[in-house]
Structure 1
């Protein structure tokens, strides 16, 4: 699925709920999704999170209480979400947002499985950027 297909649902409504930490997004196909900031943050499409190829992903942790500072439109196809932890390179296409909404449970379970495989807790603090977690415990 490359690029935006003609049948990609477009958002008709976008609401940032700062108290409950969800992005509510209504699409023109009648669907409305409530995407937790945490999910959006750990699934950020940015290179910082996804790396530059399979297996290069940086597992994000400690994002349960992440907030959204701003949401900015990017052309007619995406939004840039600025998170209050300083992460602001994730550009979320309508495709991605719709998929995250549609497959929220699967995406979330996949995240939990990856955490488990890495021996991490979702509330573990993130290693500082540049610091490589190599499993050494002091």
Structure 2
């Protein structure tokens, strides 16, 4: 995922849709994305999910009904959500959120394929460590 540059679109509005469990972002370039909270959670940029390097991603399961309990700004470049399952260590930069929104269909399909490959479904208990998350391009 790309880093923040001066040309990175920034959110002009961020709206939490609690009932449909989605985060809607409207960016400065006119792009608008509605990202399911489940996708935000399973694609968390945290070390807990992504690991500390390629091949260390952890497949996230049981996140179908996850909600946000808090959403904090991180400087002028990111947000840090706290999810209902206790996960709160992911810092989502504007660039990462933009890419999640833009690429969500492909990321979702990759995540579902990784679940199938592991013989799991979205509601399964957490998989053993070492299962790839499905959110990285590695």
Same fold (TM over 0.5): yes
Question: Highest relative contact order (Cα 8 Å, sep 6+), 1 or 2?
Answer: 2
Structure 2: gaps (5+ residues): 132-138
Mapped to 2, the partners of 1:65 and 1:2 lie a distance apart of 29
Mapped to 1, the partners of 2:129 and 2:11 lie a distance apart of 38
Give the 4+ runs in structure 1 shifted more than 6 A.
none
Deviations 1:50-75 (A, max 9, x none): 11111111100011100000110001
Deviations 1:11-50 (A, max 9, x none): 0000111111000010011111000000000000000011
Q: How does 1:2-17 map to 2 (within 5 A)?
A: 3-17=3-17
Task: Report whether the alignment pairs 1:91 with 2:73.
Answer: no
CA contact (8 A) 2:3 2:96 kept: no
Structure 1: gaps (5+ residues): none
Give the C-alpha shift of residue 133 in structure 1.
7.9
CA RMSD across the alignment: 1.7
Instruction: State the partner residue of 1:19.
Output: 19
Give the C-alpha shift of residue 3 in structure 1.
3.4
Other structure's SS at 2:91 match: strand
Mapped to 2, the partners of 1:80 and 1:55 lie a distance apart of 24
Mapped to 2, the partners of 1:52 and 1:59 lie a distance apart of 14
Other structure's SS at 1:90 match: coil
